[in-house]
């Protein structure tokens, strides 16, 4: 599974460390004070965990937007 197998899962799916550059998880965007923008999910990354298959969703950093400011209200 090195390239997109979207016919099966509906999203381009890559193995760990083989995904295209310019993508980040929601947590990584949050650390940069950004939020996902544009397409909801760009790709999915899968890897083998301790006993189960793990996965993460990656978002395009180029389309990310600034997070909304919290107000006192």
Structure-block tokens of residue 57? 């969703």
User: Where in the sequence is the domain holding 27, given as residue range(s)?
Assistant: 6-54
Query: Does residue 38 belong to any structural domain of this protein?
Result: yes
Q: How confident is the model at residue 6 (pLDDT cuts 50, 70, 90)?
A: low
Query: Does residue 59 belong to any structural domain of this protein?
Result: no
Structure-block tokens of residue 55? 């996965």
State the total domains in the chain: 1
Query: Does residue 72 belong to any structural domain of this protein?
Result: no
Distance (Å, whole) CA 33 – CA 26? 10
CB 67 within 8 A of CB 33: yes
Query: Does residue 20 belong to any structural domain of this protein?
Result: yes
pLDDT for position 11: 76
Query: Does residue 33 belong to any structural domain of this protein?
Result: yes
Query: Does residue 71 belong to any structural domain of this protein?
Result: no
Query: Does residue 22 belong to any structural domain of this protein?
Result: yes
pTM of the complete model: 0.67
Tens of pLDDT along 16-60?
777 788 888 888 889 999 988 876 676 777 788 777 777 788 888
pLDDT for position 31: 93
Buried b (16+ CB within 10 A) or exposed e, 29-66: beeeebebeeeeebbbbbeeeeeeeeeeebbbbeebee
């Amino acid at each position: 599974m090195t390239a997109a197998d979207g016919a099966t899962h509906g999203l381009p799916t890559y193995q760990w460390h083989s995904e295209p550059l310019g993508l980040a998880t929601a947590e990584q965007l949050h650390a940069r004070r950004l939020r996902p923008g544009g397409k909801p999910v760009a790709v999915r990354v899968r890897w083998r965990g301790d006993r189960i298959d793990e996965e993460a969703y990656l978002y395009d950093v180029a389309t990310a937007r600034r997070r909304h400011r919290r107000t006192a209200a």
